[in-house]
A and B are shown apart, each in its own frame.
Chain A
Amino acid sequence: MDIFLNVLKVTLEEGFMYAILAMGVYITYSILDFPDLSVDGTMPLGAIITGVLIMNGVNPWLCLTIAFVLGAVAGAVTGILHVKFKIRDLLCGILTYTSLLTVNLIIVSAGTGGMSIASFFREPTIFNTAPAALVPEKIGGYSLRILIMSFVIVLIVKIIMDLYLKTKSGILLRATGDNSRFVTMLAVDSGKIKIIGLALGNGLAALSGSVIAQSRGSADPQMGVGMVVLGLASVIIGLSIFKRFSFMKTTTMVILGSIAYKACLSIALELGLPTNYLKLLMAVIFTVAIVASRISIKKGGAHVKA
């Protein structure tokens, strides 16, 4: 029972924290129809900048904002490469990701005086200062601060996103991914909207990186490996499992998808899968999710892009 509860707790914690990234991927992949590979670079960018700043005494909440902004800038670069320089979408993500490999290394080594990992276990983070400190350190033997805080943060992000997607700008973003000629007819530069969407998506990826780094007390460039797959898998699993529930917001589906995805990984690890196989398993789950969502489309379900 104890083990089960612990696994459940970790699954939910991680599910919530990675759901922020998945919502970013939802914007670029589902809304904008842009296969964005920059996420593998922007997520650790957010983590590393947070680590370095916290080590230098910067307020952890401010770090979240800075991470979001930096991620958004990197996402905008991907967008500008695509829109202004007419480079193919996949290639733009690869270019940004590759550049961020260097940027991330430089930041972590400059910020830590030459190390390749930023550790800040004893420093204040959003999980051990107010308002998280209001939560008792242990409840019934479990430390629930991370779980509660990550839930609160993902909820805030989700609500903001739901509200945004109903604004003029948000609906225009949805229109751009759907039919950019329509947006042109509205006398709007659809390229600009694409750049905004990529900025938002990667801002969220970096924000997620910042939250994850703060929960671990460390950040390193390796954290980004597999983030594109994780984000896409969460989105596709979420949208294809829960699309029957038409009352449910797509952002909710994505969060649940992220939790479902993490649950699959947790179960496999509990069953004794060596951690070396983790990335392979991630890819397998992703493949299964895509194929399964196709099958349910054939059965007449709503369309989920894969």
Chain B
Amino acid sequence: MLRLENITKKFNIGTIDESTVFDNFNFQVKKGEFVSVVGSNGSGKSTLLNLVCGTITPDCGNIIFNDKNINKLSEYKRAKFIGRVYQEPKAGTCGNLTIAENMALADNKNQFYGLSKCLSKKRVDYYKTLLEKCDLGLENRMTTKVGALSGGQRQALALVIANMSDIDLLILDEHTAALDPKSSDTVMRLTDKLVKEKGITTLMVTHNLRFAVEYGNRLVMMHEGNCVLDIAGENKQNVVVDDLLGKFYEISIEKGN
């Protein structure tokens, strides 16, 4: 479904800061896969997601989505079929707008944003049913400005919003990283529920090895722009956190630090 072919990506080309993140990188995701991506800081996880979403373009190589080359497709056009939740709770919603307004905008995704009224009573009732799934009581606060919500509440809302339209691919970049342990568990469980409900293909970057092990049906470890571990299916079910930790140490010893 998603294929990255021979991707090369460098930053600050031609300066002393030049850094090569990917050199001839290949990666594939099949329909229905829920991939957890782990890896050390700077290993290229966010860059991978940015390449897929079109936030940045590769220097060479192709990105193929559903057999179409989307290399030249701008970020906002790719958003038609991609939903995304960022690490910062502020990024996925609008703080100045109410919960209902945020959801109404998302409800209209892929349609024309014209001069008709944005909020309708009937749709707001529907938004409430979506929020009830979060179990955070957000459904009773439809007219609250999103800026007044806590990080965890906001992230849950961002997740619901990203899933409101029919997306083919869900991109999550450390979306529980800014949350306390309890909220991050809540948001992670909500993620799993939403993903399983519609069987959305998902790429989730996380530093939480427990999440990477417990959730998803494929696990990838990145290091210096390469996949150093890629397990799926039954093997994935047997992985435990210690295995991943072991792999982390193995890599850093190989590199001599």
A189 to B117, CA, bound (A): 20
The residues of A that contact B94 with a CB separation of less than 8 Å are 174-175, 178-179, 182
The listed residue (A166, A168, A177, A179) touching B113 by CB distance below 8 A is A168
The residues of A that contact B228 with a CB separation of less than 8 Å are none
Query: Which residues of chain B in 107-132 are interfacial with respect to chain A, using CB atoms and an 8 Å cutoff?
Result: 108-110, 112-119
Tell whether, in the assembled complex, residue A174 and residue B86 are in contact, meaning their CB atoms are under 8 Å apart.
no
Which of B98-106, B196-204, B249-257 contacts the other chain? B98-106
A179 with B91: in contact, given A172-B105, A184-B76, A187-B109 (CB under 8 Å)?
Answer: yes
The residues of A that contact B117 with a CB separation of less than 8 Å are 166-168
The listed residue (A170, A183, A185, A186) touching B118 by CB distance below 8 A is A170
The residues of B that contact A185 with a CB separation of less than 8 Å are 79, 83-84, 92, 162
The listed residue (B79, B97, B104) touching A187 by CB distance below 8 A is B79
B96 to chain A, nearest CB (A): 5
Please tell me the size bucket of the interface on B: 20 to 34
Tell whether, in the assembled complex, residue A188 and residue B75 are in contact, meaning their CB atoms are under 8 Å apart.
no
The residues of A that contact B116 with a CB separation of less than 8 Å are 167-168
A142 to chain B, nearest CB (A): 40
The residues of A that contact B207 with a CB separation of less than 8 Å are none
Tell whether, in the assembled complex, residue A187 and residue B105 are in contact, meaning their CB atoms are under 8 Å apart.
no
Tell whether, in the assembled complex, residue A166 and residue B95 are in contact, meaning their CB atoms are under 8 Å apart.
no
A185 to B162, CA, bound (A): 8
A175 to B106, CA, bound (A): 11
- Total CB contacts across the A-B interface at under 8 A: 78
A169 with B115: in contact, given A179-B93, A179-B95 (CB under 8 Å)?
Answer: yes
Tell whether, in the assembled complex, residue B76 and residue A188 are in contact, meaning their CB atoms are under 8 Å apart.
yes
A178 with B96: in contact, given A168-B108, A189-B76 (CB under 8 Å)?
Answer: yes
Cβ of A190 within 8 Å of any chain B Cβ, yes or no, is yes
B175 to chain A, nearest CB (A): 13
Cβ of B3 within 8 Å of any chain A Cβ, yes or no, is no
A190 to B110, CA, bound (A): 14
Chain A 164-205, CB-CB to B under 8 Å as 1, else 0, gives: 101111111011011101111111111000000000000000
A177 to B79, CA, bound (A): 19
A179 to B158, CA, bound (A): 13
B143 to chain A, nearest CB (A): 12
Cβ of B247 within 8 Å of any chain A Cβ, yes or no, is no
B55 to chain A, nearest CB (A): 9
Tell whether, in the assembled complex, residue B109 and residue A171 are in contact, meaning their CB atoms are under 8 Å apart.
no
Chain B 206-247, CB-CB to A under 8 Å as 1, else 0, gives: 000000000000000000000000000000000000000000
Across the interface, name the chain A residue whose C-beta is closest to B119.
A166
B84 to chain A, nearest CB (A): 6
Query: Which residues of chain A in 68-90 are interfacial with respect to chain B, using CB atoms and an 8 Å cutoff?
Result: none
Chain A 95-130, CB-CB to B under 8 Å as 1, else 0, gives: 000000000000000000000000000000000000
A120 to chain B, nearest CB (A): 35
Chain B 145-166, CB-CB to A under 8 Å as 1, else 0, gives: 0000000000000000010000
A184 with B97: in contact, given A167-B114, A169-B114, A171-B118 (CB under 8 Å)?
Answer: no
Cβ of B133 within 8 Å of any chain A Cβ, yes or no, is no
B193 to chain A, nearest CB (A): 21
Chain B residues within CB distance 8 Å of chain A: 74-77, 79-80, 83-84, 86, 90-97, 101, 104-106, 108-110, 112-119, 162
Query: Can you list 8 residue pairs at the A/B interface with Cβ under 8 Å?
Result: A164-B115, A168-B112, A169-B113, A171-B101, A171-B105, A181-B91, A182-B92, A186-B79
